[in-house]
A and B are shown apart, each in its own frame.
Chain A
Amino acid sequence: MANTEASLKEAMSSIEGTTGVALVDYTSGMALGTLGGGKDFNLEVAAAGNTDVVRAKLRTMEHLGIKDEIEDILITLGTQYHLIRLLKTRGNNGLFLYLVLDSGRANLAMARHQLKKIEADLEI
């Protein structure tokens, strides 16, 4: 089991190509923790914006009558991957991990696998 800070640190250091990571509460749109980013990538802005992404997808599924849950969401940009992973472990509802990857350095399959493991170990 790892706490928020340790999990963010692990994502940042063990997942190749990671430039920023955040744990976000999508009921409020605020970040519980952030690591990386910088002045040209504001993770608070990303947390609020991607909250809208997650909410929109959940609403769309509801409208379509799909009774399932989101495991992760991948957004592919020209030079970055953005990976959103919703937390499913005991009572951690309403949270997601958000990972920003440099697509030139990242291995997407490996990143997804490692993030899944970090999520399973995370205890808030």
Chain B
Amino acid sequence: MVPEAEVQDVLAELQRLRARVPLLSGALAASTDGLVLAHDTPGVEAEGVAALTAAALGVSIRMTDATGRGGFRELLVRGETGYIATYAAGSSAVLTLLAEDRINVGRLHLEGRRSGSRIGELVDAALERAPQPAPGPRAPVPRTAHQPGPLPHRPT
């Protein structure tokens, strides 16, 4: 778990990002297993977006892995009325941004990457300092994304 002080720093970063980039309607930092760290997403349910981000991230990591493209960096989804962009933020977090259709995507990428690495530093430093809890019976299952099995095949 990330301590409260760092959560406030992450939230401040999200708010700064939203103030700086016009047409950015929401910003959310989540752990790679789908839990919200901090969010500034008016009108959108952050828990749901964080959970979906983790699901999309799982597929994305397998995609980059299966095609030999290295580790996950970012994911851009465009709907009819806007974009959803997810950026890697250190080893255990991601940054998801919600933007309107008219956004300057070049600028979204520049600011999103910068912000993602800053949030990554905050979260990674906090996790390094925090004592690791002993894995209890309800500890989360370790991610297996780094040792993917064979790709699933659709039965024909």
Q: Which residues of A contact B (CB under 8 A)?
A: 24, 28-31, 44-45, 47-49, 51-52, 55
Q: Is the CB of A28 within 8 A of B105?
A: yes
Interface of A is mostly: helix
Given A29-B105, A30-B106, 19 more contacts at CB 8 Å? A24-B106, A28-B105, A28-B106, A29-B103, A29-B104, A29-B106, A29-B107, A29-B108, A30-B105, A30-B109, A31-B106, A44-B106, A45-B110, A47-B106, A48-B109, A48-B110, A49-B107, A51-B107, A52-B104
Main secondary structure of the interface of B (DSSP, over half): helix
| CB-based A-B contact count at 8 angstroms | 30
- Return B92 CB to nearest CB of chain A, in Å: 28
Residues of B within 8 A of A30 (CB): 105-106, 109
- Residues of A contacting B104 with CB < 8 Å? 28-29, 48, 51-52, 55
Q: Shortest beta-carbon distance, B83 to chain A, in Å?
A: 10
Q: Which residues of B in the span 93-133 have a Cβ within 8 Å of any Cβ on A?
A: 103-110
Which residue from chain A places its CB closest to the CB of B108 in the assembled complex? Answer: A29
Q: Mark B70-107, 1 if CB is under 8 A from A, else 0.
A: 00000000000000000000000000000000011111
Which residue among B104, B106, B107, B108 has the maximum number of chain A CB atoms within 10 Å of its CB? B106
